[in-house]
Amino acid sequence: MSDFDFDLFVIGGGSGGVRAARISAGYGAKVALAEEYRLGGTCVIRGCVPKKLMVYASGFPGAVEEAQAYGWDAQIGAFDWTKFRGKLDAELTRLEAIYRRGQEGAGVTLYDQRATVVAPHEVQLADGTRVSAKHILVAVGGKPFVPEFEGCEHVLTSNDMFKFDTLPKTMLIVGGGYIACEFACIMAGLGVDVTLFNRSPLLRGFDTDARDVIIGQMERAGIKIHTGVVIDKVECLGDDFRIHASDNRDEVFDAVLYATGRVPLTEGLGLEDAGVKLGSRGEVLVDAYSQTNIPSIFAVGDVTDRIALTPVAIREGHAFADTIFGAKPTTMDHDLVASAVFTQPEFGTCGLTEDEAREKGPVEIYLSSFKPMKSAFAGNPEPVFLKLVVSKEHRTVLGCHIVGESAGEMIQMVAIAMKMGATKEQFDATCAVHPTMAEELVTMRSPARTD
Ligand code: NDP
């Protein structure tokens, strides 16, 4: 008989938390989980899922244009945002219910309220109840970061993007990472006049060639991109907003979105009082087993600021459960995690950029850029772009960067080969699937550049 109320108390019902809770309960642990908002967390409620549905919604004007070019008498009418938002809300509610059933079915006790840590084995719920647990798992995620400036209270964050009563006609998006670029493409696709400001080049940290292709296509899609610009002031004019920027630009927009990064959501969580060490960004510092310096307290997902991606949080949560309750010590391997930026064109990436790889040794660079059959037939001049970064010494494929339709789907498959340490020659020994875009991955014969 345990001295604690629970074997495990999970704080946060997002991707990492629910996975850890369900798997731990499956191993026979007595588990509780507290969520202050909605089960599913950032990914399901205000991130990946609603964003991807908006990506789909924004792609239809282009699809209808293509259909016309193929001979269809197709016309697109106006976009009914209210109808879409209603369906989106219903879908999120459906998914949230699935998450709840999953937890309840696994025997997890749910608390629909905020929980904070008060001691290494104790949490306090918002209603004042104190609960003890042998292990505490912090999986509270992150929140959008908005820098301080005059009028910063007027700007929107990604949390607000699914809640508009009506879509703005003009929108300024500030930032140059995943979220800024994705929403710039989504909103432009939905007919919004989009301007994008960033303090540095867009998609900094990603492969330069791939970035250039994406940025070029975003500009040709009508997105007005200005880099090297920051905002000094946002003034609310009633229904719209006047911005003043560092390059003396003065403009009025219906809405201003800040997508300038996310920070771990540890403020006020009681972790420091319980002795848990945090990093400079407020992230929970953990070892490879997601354990903090306090042996009973663990953390997974965005709150640890390792790789802020849903599948990573899920793996970390699962590894925690296997280690603590499944007698299978497991760590999440953070190497070669593929990801996709759902810009239009889509961007799939895995491994090192050309610059990163070259720092480690000589490389060969294989490039392919061509007009894909489907869109070229419709008269669309935009190319698909594929790049392999290959170690000259070991022949392994160190990086793969794909820009084009379904790049996210393609990179998932490439990541398997890369994770197995596949060489360029093994890629080439794989027979092509024809006619596809991905066949170019196994038919790039001569390097475009070599060290
Ligand atoms: P990112 O870290 O990707 O990008 C932040 C951007 O904001 C950068 O361009 C950065 O510029 C700029 N910025 C940062 N601070 C300031 C500041 N004080 N003033 C002006 N500009 C600033 O963050 P996001 O918010 O786009 O996304 C957060 C994370 O969420 C991502 O890193 C990713 O892990 C995850 N995510 C993943 C998605 C996916 O898998 N498709 C989709 C959405 C989010 P600079 O380059 O100069 O630093």
Burial of 83 (0-12, 13-18, 19+ CB in 10 A): exposed
pLDDT of residue 444: 97
Band of residue 2 on the pLDDT scale cut at 50, 70, 90: confident
Span 254-269, pLDDT tens digits: 999 999 999 999 999 9
- Please choose from 146, 162, 178, 218 the residue to mutate so as to test ligand 1's pocket, defined by most ligand atoms within 8 A of CB: 178
Cis status, amide bond into 435, omega within 30 of 0: yes
What pTM was computed for the model? 0.97
Cα four-point dihedral sign 68, 70, 71, 74: negative
Provide the 8-state DSSP code for 82.
Answer: H
In the chain the domains, ranked by start, together with CATH numbers, are 6-144+263-325 (3.50.50.60), 152-260 (3.50.50.60), 339-450 (3.30.390.30)
Cis status, amide bond into 311, omega within 30 of 0: no
52 CA to centre of ligand 1 in angstroms? 17
- Please choose from 262, 304, 337 the residue to mutate so as to test ligand 1's pocket, defined by most ligand atoms within 8 A of CB: 262
Mean pLDDT of the chain: 97
Enumerate residues lining ligand 1, CB below 6 A. Answer: 147, 175-180, 182, 198-200, 204, 230, 259-262, 308-309, 339-342
Span 206-234, pLDDT tens digits: 999 999 999 999 999 999 999 999 999 99
Q: How many CB atoms lie within 10 A of CB 423?
A: 15
Residue 62, H or E segment: helix 60-69
434 is catalytic: yes
Average pLDDT over residues 285-296: 98
Band of residue 1 on the pLDDT scale cut at 50, 70, 90: low
